[in-house]
Structure 1
Amino acid sequence: MKQKTLLATAIAAALVLQTWSVAAQDAAPAQADQAKSLETVTVTGSRIRSVDVETSQPIFTMDRAAIQATGLTNVNDILARMPSAGTPDITPQDTLSSGADVGGRYVNIRNLGSQRTLVLVNGKRWSTSLSGLTDLSTIPVSMIDRIDILKDGASSIYGSDAIGGVVNIITKEKFEGSEANVYYGQNGKGDGQTQNYDFTWGHSTEKNSIIIGASYQNTDPMWNSKRSDTSYAQGPRHPNAGLGLGPWGRVVDPTTGDQYVINHGSTATNDINNYHLYDPTSTADKYNTQKDMTFRAGSKLKNLFVQERYKLTDNITLHGAATYSTRDTSSQLAGYPFQSGAADPAILISGQNAYNPFPGQDVEFFRRTVEMPRVTDSNSKLAHVDLGVDGYFQFLGHDWSWDAGFTFDQNKIKQVTTGNIYLPNARAALGPTTIINGQVACASAADRAAGCVPWNILAGPGGTPQSVWNYVNYVGTDRQTSYTSDWSANVSGGLFDLPAGTVNLAVGVEHRGEKGNFRPDAADSQGLTTNLASAPTSGAYNTNEAYAELDVPLLRDLPGAQELGLNIASRYSHYSNFGSTTNNKYSFRWRPFADLLVRGTWAQGFRAPTISDLYGGTGQSFETFLDPCDSKYGAAATSSSVAQRCAAAGVPANYRQVDQTGAQITSTNGGQTPVAFLSGSNANLKPETSITRTLGLVYSPHQVEGLDFTVDYYNVYVKNIISSVLAQDIVDFCYIQGDSNFCNNFHRSGTATSNLVAGSIDQLNEGLSNLGTLKTEGYDVGIHYRLPETSFGRFRIASDSTYLNKYEIVSGPGATAKTPVGFMYGEDGLYRLRSNLQVDWDYREFGASWTVRYYSGLKDNCYTDTIECSSPSYTNPWWGTYGMSQKGSVAFNDAQFRYTAPWKGVFTVGVNNIFNKKGPYYYSVTTSGTGSSPYNPAFDIDRYFYVSYNQKF
């Protein structure tokens, strides 16, 4: 009912304003009977085609020349260069991440998260996953004409997700002839080779325009072992830090509890004399897992694209586009750190197993299966169809445009993971054995019939035959499918004329349906493998929406007001799952004199919960956190109230938290839990909401032709954030904040186990909730100057910067506000200043560019309180009571040279990070485990060379 009311109000307003216009001024001159054939223009941030929103809103545009100057072939890598871009939620470097979205490429504007950045193609939503992420790798660079980035809230125009900003990718509309591109790039260490080939053909007639394109890209993986920066868990200066469980079998004496490790190189595991006592403080029996892992996943991208426009009449045009993309990615983790506690009940080496050094007694074990690394291959197939019709007519004496269309997306993802262990087979292989024909065999005839092979698991590398690996290895397959169907209709045009110009109105309706499912591997879901377990996801919702946008020019060509105008937009959305929301936007533009434009906006925004948020199954993850009850590094060590709450919960006195290796934690960084925690969805979630404020100016002095200066202030406030209540927040809320509601989200063990001490948290549920707020504010500054042409060529200078003034996070009620501007915060580098400076030169058939990318310094964790710790006494209430390490700023330099041959061929050669600059090593970057820089590690970790050739026919 509200939707009809909004539309009725807009129509009534148009009639009233038209009546007022007729009474207030002379009628407009008679127009020609036939409406003009107008050119369709995709304008980002507005549905009104006659408003100069390119300057009235903070829009950053990259044309095709700017895209090619980066030397990059993935849209996400190109967008990551923007100073306003943050680290995406998932990157190709997140080797430890899991889920169907791993392998995709995403964008994050204003450090607000990839889910709060809306991605459009030609003004329409592109496919999103069940988690609300848009995979940019499915959009080939060869089909792009330009990219508009609206750094403003735009939910009143586009609906959900347009909080941090909008990325609108505009494809080529007309193309005559043929074009082929060949590209090859390689990192300085000889890996990460990228090959890209694309071909485009187009033809236009008076009535018809068609474009067909195909592209193929192959990017080889980059390996941690190739470079010192990534070869060790804690960096090249501390090669022995962060080492984990090794491939040499470790066994627990069932009588004394002492742990023994097989002597390296020995395979005679049934004799305890071949073992030595395990020393957890020594690195001798630990292993550097980084050398077995990919730093960046390899990928193959294929795309077919066809687009056609047909002029049905002078004023009506049919259009259609279809694209089919496939993405294959592959990443590798080190072998699984297998131990008795990996299953429930625990798997033990049987006392009747021939390889047991304690005959007659079942024993616990530890062993990393380095011979069987965990490899995840992901295949994504996206089909996108866009059909529509648009046209023009005259109404109220003005030109009006209209369009109606339908888009459909289907995305299918298949993930195949090898290298995990099938626990029933491992249990059988470590069970009782017998001797058959002089060979050790599984004692159970049924197990032998099923292929059982005895496993000498305590033997080091080389002591396990391939037949055993084949028997215990498990190949798991997960599948995800998502569908989006979208119907829309829009009409826009002039209502009446005022002395300052035409009052314009745009109205439209949209119906969108989202549905999808995720089917995890059945054995993984049942906990029968060492892979993280997850439950199925299935759900759907739909939304009906209507919007109206009104643009009113108030003053023009007056002293102090060369131009003054207002723009008002409102969008009503009704979701089948949570109900209705209305979001408004108000903006103004004021030109006090010809050279200066002042602009500002106030906008409401929202992000609707995704299918995964609402209907996702329970999943598992190993979390890194600091237990407040730890008697040395936790809050209990300094707070009597926390210590009392811990004691009341049954935590033993002098309790010490242990990490995955069973060792006590060594700093307030905490440790990764030895047991997997659970996370899940919430069907009662409400949308996130936001308020965005911007104020800026555009100055183009007429005295200096070609010079443009822009500065924009932004302030974004997001509340009711949809997020997992993370393990750290849950335990802090329970013990530090004293909120007993969160104490029910976890359980502590009453007794010690093989990998936990008494009092350890052995169960924890990280559920989703509308909890917390986020505030950020800063400034965008741009200086662009196209110098007058000289005898030695044309020069263009472009400088774009973002200054981050505030970034404040409140995770929940009573929580201390986190203000990590200038810090390495998890995976996000919240730089105070990011800046790009580019100088471009053209002279006849030659051209060149030089780009400098600057990142200010960040505060990071100390390695220890005495090593790499510039401020040992530094105290931060939300980070911990330990020191701080100040990491310096860094600048990367890129160079490119191009030559246009007489036969329309263009040769390009370039080097990114030409001086092979190494960014700082960050100890707080935990997801990748490498401490790699968060800038764009695929290219900044090394010098990167590339060559390309473009041929037009």
Structure 2
Amino acid sequence: MKQKTLLATAIAAALVLQTWSVAAQDAAPAQADQGSAKSLETVTVTGSRIRSVDVETSQPVFTMDRAAIQATGLTNVNDIIARMPSAGTPDITPQDTLSSGTDVGGRYVNIRNLGSNRTLVLVNGRRWSTSLSGLTDLSTIPVSMIERIDVLKDGASSIYGSDAIGGVVNIITKEKFDGAEANVYFGQNGQGDGTTTNYDFTWGHSTEKNSLIIGASYQNTDPMWNRERDITSYANGPRHPNDGWSGTGPYGRVIDPNTNQQYVINHGATNTADLSNYHLYDGSSNADKYNTQQDMTFRAGSKLKNIFLQDKYKLTDNITLHGMASYSTRDTSSQLAGYPLSTGGTGVAISGDNAYNPFPGQDVAFYRRTTELPRITWSNSKLAHIDVGAEGYFQFLDHDWSWDANYTYSQNKIRQIGSGNLNLVNLANALGPTETVNGQVVCANAAARAAGCVPWNILAGPGSASQQVLNYVNYIETNRQTSSTDDYTANVSGGLFDLPAGTVNLAVGIEHRGEKGNFRPDANVSAGLTTDLAAAPTSGAYNTNEAYAELDVPLLRDLPGAQEFGINIASRYSHYSNFGSTTNNKYSFRYRPFEDLLVRGTFAHGFRAPSLDNLYGGEAQSFETFLDPCDSVYGAAASNPAVAKSCAAAGVPAGYRQVNSTSGKPITNSNGSQTPVAFISASNPNLQPEQSITRTLGLVFSPHQVEGLDFTVDYYNIYVKNIITAVDAQDTLNYCYIQNDPSFCKSFTRAATANPVTGVAAGSVDSLTETLYNLGTLKTEGYDVGIHYRLPETSFGRFRIASDSTYLSKYELVSGPGAVAKTPVGFMDGEDGLYRLRSNLQVDWDYKQFGASWTIRYYSGLKDQCYSNDPTDLVECSSPNYTNPWWGTYGMSQKGSVAFNDAQFRYTAPWKGVFTVGVNNIFNKKGPFYYSVTSTGTGSSPYNPAFDIDRYWYVSYNQKF
């Protein structure tokens, strides 16, 4: 309470002093008119708090105006930004069907492949709402209200504080609007699914003193299904449709308690108590397996609703009041195949006294996928955002000064409902002892029977269970998350004094921000009473007090060899209640040797504060795949005597073999196996902020001989240390045995004896806790190149050409001490395609009431895993002798480059109506199928999520009133 009072006093003082600054800087708009040959057009953009900094400053900013946004034919902000060559795959995408958590369903942005939580999102220069995990959902920002999007591809923590490591996305909304505007949009994939409809309406009225804008939008996007396309219908792609099927199929499989032989019920048989109705399970055939892809969504469906209000009122000639309010709701739904139910995964066996047990008198372990109950997740997110403040101007020291004071509040509430997981208590009752009453098999437990228990013949095939049984075992869970932000800011900016080269400008400001939130998982899920992964509640809060100063000094002007030279210095002090203080500085220069050329560069410190989820997240379960270093054939113990000795000292039996959790037999390759029991992931309240250093050097060339031509090239180098890293099972074991760090050996235990129920073998890891640490480092560097040319107007129209490219020369990730540096530039690395080159080329044409554009989006080729890791049977392998040090696999397959072509045609009618028709991926190009994309990352077959999955066509109509 005292801190808020202090901030209120500071803001009042700022008002009295009449001090103000605008979060603005200037840069050349991309894919828009670029101004004259000698000087780029000046527009207000992101990156500096000093209003007078010219367009060609020391910071690389990419700008998309409204026309460029509409030319994409896209209706979501994240999809629009993802088209930028410097954008990577977001941490969560609509294709992440297998991902869990309340962030699933949102739309995010990732600049420089540094992660979505290292990209700061602003609206009108002020922070937008973030979730407990530090992600900003861009679907809550309606495209209809956007005037332009500025993307600062540079570190900016000295100006904006935390998260501005990879870059800053600043979404600028419409400021003035008179009249009304309505838009109708319809789009659909060539396969006939993924239909998107969008409706929005904007009304505005401006007077001499007031400017009011009201908008509303609605968007509905239908889901896309894996089964609809060959490239997503099979886990290992259309060339291998019979591979990658789940061993847990829809027909019951039991383990003979006497011989450990596995039997599967004959398909169509219903008398599961007679062993003669079974056959031996053959793991080499798909007859008893299941293709889970046919039940899964490739992309989740969603509904977005938003209302938006913005008002600016000129109180006096020097003071303006402003306010903005936005309320949005997002509903999404996704589906997974039914749960792979087994005794090992649940601890529930078929009772020896159950009428459907083929081994009477003996409890029986079983496997059965519940295809009758697909796992469906519905998520509803509600975001309320309010921004109010005042701004003004005054004269001080014979110079113009400006001030602003703002208060921003946002609250995000998420409710997530899941269906298709099973109630373990009811499951145990349904598979427990039975008895016969009036010729009917019923649950023997009278109390359970009174509560609705119905015996479940789990071993019978799909369709055999009654709806009464399914209703009894199915569990409907509800999780809730709330996060909120209170943000107070006050800024002042203006000229101090004049030098021969120009005015020395200063900006200073203060900010107080409070973040709090909580996650309340379903009580029964949290207690481990369902088949869903258990999670503990999360609750936490922190606040920060910050102050910054920025100084811009023009040193030289209009001299031979120095038409302009200036420097910009910024520093921000931040004090967090949870970890303490950090100061981040930024140094920039701009140098124009002659009128047509500008050279610019920056050196910036940055940071990312730990999110609430990083600090206070409750424990959660997860099933991890890892290679045990103590495995005597494929693990490090096989070739490293020191590791073998450490394993023996830990009680691991001699000749120990890690067991495949599905087959129950020793692993057959270095890929390891998934644990049969859930491990625990946990947060860390002692985390420190990530720290970064960003260097950029670039030039802007606008030859006066060629009017309308601008050429830019910028080099960037970013180093991030103390990366908040989730030390997974593999790294935990490696640090313990290979790096010989005893602190990690305390994070897991090994089973003294075998447990046939859970499938844990003697000596194997039976519990492990994964914790967050400040361990990793990341280095990346590359070049951005832009060429924009506005051709002279001709008798057949006006042409504009825009080319923007990013060349990635380095990307090096080290997960922790002693870990092998991961340098996957030019590789498909899990979910992320780290392309050496990404490029967009657009040609735009306007003639009277007609307009058209053609865009080519290019992705360079990537190296991929070979389909087979067996060196004696390499499939789809261009380099069979290649060994990847971080994949740990043998062989490499080079996948080719791909280019997508988009076309759009526009017609403006005499009654102010605009008809638009367009096709994205007009040639229906299919990208390569990547085997190294993890299914857990994409929620579907390993198809690159950056690529278009299909041809997409759309039509829209805009009417102004």
- Fold shared by both chains (TM-score > 0.5): yes
Shift of 1:847: 0.8
Q: Residue 256 of structure 2 aligns with which residue?
A: 253
Aligned AA (2:398):
G
Percentage of matched positions with identical amino acids = 79
Shift of 1:627: 2.4
Shift of 1:661: 5.7
Contact 2:864–2:932 (CA under 8 A) maintained in structure 1: yes
Residue by residue over 1:376-431, the C-alpha shift from the partner in whole angstroms, topping out at 9 and shown as x without a partner, is 00000000000000000000000000000100001000000000000000000111
CA distance in 1, matches of 2:782, 2:43: 31
Q: Residue 533 of structure 1 aligns with which residue?
A: 534
Shift of 1:53: 4.9
Q: Residue 958 of structure 2 aligns with which residue?
A: 950
Mapping for residues 751-770 of structure 1, pairs under 5 Å? 751-752=753-754, 753-754=756-757, 755-770=759-774
Residue by residue over 1:859-890, the C-alpha shift from the partner in whole angstroms, topping out at 9 and shown as x without a partner, is 11111141112212112333325111111111
CA distance in 1, matches of 2:150, 2:72: 16
Contact 1:299–1:327 (CA under 8 A) maintained in structure 2: yes
Q: Which range moves more in the overlay, 732-741 or 171-180?
A: 732-741
Residue by residue over 1:497-539, the C-alpha shift from the partner in whole angstroms, topping out at 9 and shown as x without a partner, is 1100000000000000000100000000000000111000001
Query: Does 2:233 match 1:231?
Result: yes
Query: Does 2:740 match 1:730?
Result: no
RMSD, matched Cα: 1.8
Q: Which range moves more in the overlay, 881-890 or 627-636?
A: 627-636
Q: Residue 183 of structure 1 aligns with which residue?
A: 185
CA distance in 2, matches of 1:873, 1:632: 21
Residue segments in structure 1 that go unaligned for 5+ positions in a row? 12-39
Q: Residue 799 of structure 2 aligns with which residue?
A: 795
Contact 1:924–1:931 (CA under 8 A) maintained in structure 2: no
Runs of 4+ displaced beyond 4 Å: 660-666
CA distance in 2, matches of 1:801, 1:550: 32
Query: Does 2:854 match 1:850?
Result: yes
Change (3 A) 1:814 1:474: same
Contact 2:352–2:364 (CA under 8 A) maintained in structure 1: yes
Matched residue SS, 2:175: coil
Contact 2:657–2:667 (CA under 8 A) maintained in structure 1: no
Q: Which range moves more in the overlay, 275-284 or 610-619?
A: 275-284
Change (3 A) 1:293 1:268: same
Query: Does 2:451 match 1:445?
Result: no
Shift of 1:735: 2.5
Shift of 1:657: 3.5
Matched residue SS, 2:227: helix
Q: Which range moves more in the overlay, 691-700 or 751-760?
A: 751-760
Shift of 1:647: 3.5
Aligned AA (2:671):
N
Q: Residue 435 of structure 1 aligns with which residue?
A: 436
Q: Residue 91 of structure 2 aligns with which residue?
A: 89
CA distance in 2, matches of 1:421, 1:59: 51
Matched residue SS, 1:239: coil
CA distance in 1, matches of 2:573, 2:664: 54
CA distance in 1, matches of 2:637, 2:292: 33
How many equivalent pairs are there? 916
Query: Does 2:790 match 1:786?
Result: yes
Aligned AA (1:545):
E
Query: Does 2:894 match 1:886?
Result: yes
Contact 1:223–1:296 (CA under 8 A) maintained in structure 2: yes
Contact 1:715–1:777 (CA under 8 A) maintained in structure 2: yes
Contact 2:656–2:763 (CA under 8 A) maintained in structure 1: no
Change (3 A) 1:482 1:787: same
Contact 2:88–2:112 (CA under 8 A) maintained in structure 1: yes
Change (3 A) 1:612 1:661: farther
Q: Residue 327 of structure 2 aligns with which residue?
A: 324
Matched residue SS, 2:333: strand
Contact 2:831–2:945 (CA under 8 A) maintained in structure 1: no
Shift of 1:66: 0.7
Matched residue SS, 2:233: coil
CA distance in 1, matches of 2:753, 2:67: 65
Change (3 A) 1:839 1:671: farther
Contact 1:662–1:674 (CA under 8 A) maintained in structure 2: no
Contact 1:93–1:295 (CA under 8 A) maintained in structure 2: yes
Aligned AA (1:433):
T
Aligned AA (1:564):
F
Q: Which range moves more in the overlay, 658-667 or 201-210?
A: 658-667
Contact 1:658–1:756 (CA under 8 A) maintained in structure 2: no
Query: Does 2:387 match 1:379?
Result: no
Aligned AA (1:599):
R
CA distance in 1, matches of 2:386, 2:227: 43
Change (3 A) 1:255 1:660: closer
Contact 1:233–1:929 (CA under 8 A) maintained in structure 2: no
CA distance in 1, matches of 2:941, 2:764: 28
Aligned AA (1:934):
N
Mapping for residues 617-696 of structure 1, pairs under 5 Å? 617-652=618-653, 653-660=655-662, 662=664, 664-696=666-698
Change (3 A) 1:370 1:580: same
Shift of 1:934: 3.3
Contact 1:658–1:757 (CA under 8 A) maintained in structure 2: no
Matched residue SS, 2:232: coil
Contact 2:265–2:272 (CA under 8 A) maintained in structure 1: yes
Q: Which range moves more in the overlay, 638-647 or 617-626?
A: 638-647
Q: Residue 106 of structure 2 aligns with which residue?
A: 104
Residue segments in structure 2 that go unaligned for 5+ positions in a row? 1-5, 14-41
Q: Residue 477 of structure 2 aligns with which residue?
A: 476
CA distance in 1, matches of 2:675, 2:243: 18
Q: Residue 29 of structure 1 aligns with which residue?
A: none
Q: Residue 872 of structure 1 aligns with which residue?
A: 880
Shift of 1:662: 4.2
Change (3 A) 1:951 1:936: farther
Contact 1:849–1:897 (CA under 8 A) maintained in structure 2: yes
Mapping for residues 63-82 of structure 1, pairs under 5 Å? 63-82=65-84
Change (3 A) 1:918 1:593: same
Shift of 1:623: 2.1
Q: Residue 21 of structure 1 aligns with which residue?
A: none
Q: Residue 417 of structure 1 aligns with which residue?
A: 418
Matched residue SS, 1:771: strand
Point out which structure has higher relative CO (alpha carbons under 8 A, 6+ apart): 2
Matched residue SS, 1:790: coil
Aligned AA (1:415):
Q
Q: Residue 37 of structure 1 aligns with which residue?
A: none
Contact 1:230–1:295 (CA under 8 A) maintained in structure 2: yes
CA distance in 2, matches of 1:336, 1:824: 29
Shift of 1:935: 4.8
CA distance in 1, matches of 2:292, 2:633: 28
Mapping for residues 513-532 of structure 1, pairs under 5 Å? 513-532=514-533
Change (3 A) 1:281 1:110: same
Q: Which range moves more in the overlay, 818-827 or 293-302?
A: 818-827
Q: Residue 35 of structure 2 aligns with which residue?
A: none
Q: Residue 722 of structure 2 aligns with which residue?
A: 720
CA distance in 2, matches of 1:924, 1:672: 17
Shift of 1:636: 3.3
Within the candidate set 804, 808, 811, 1:807 is matched to: 811
Q: Residue 818 of structure 1 aligns with which residue?
A: 822
CA distance in 1, matches of 2:530, 2:304: 31
What is the TM-score of this pair, normalised by structure 2? 0.93
Residue by residue over 1:105-139, the C-alpha shift from the partner in whole angstroms, topping out at 9 and shown as x without a partner, is 10000010000000000000000001000000000
Query: Does 2:851 match 1:841?
Result: no
CA distance in 1, matches of 2:897, 2:522: 45
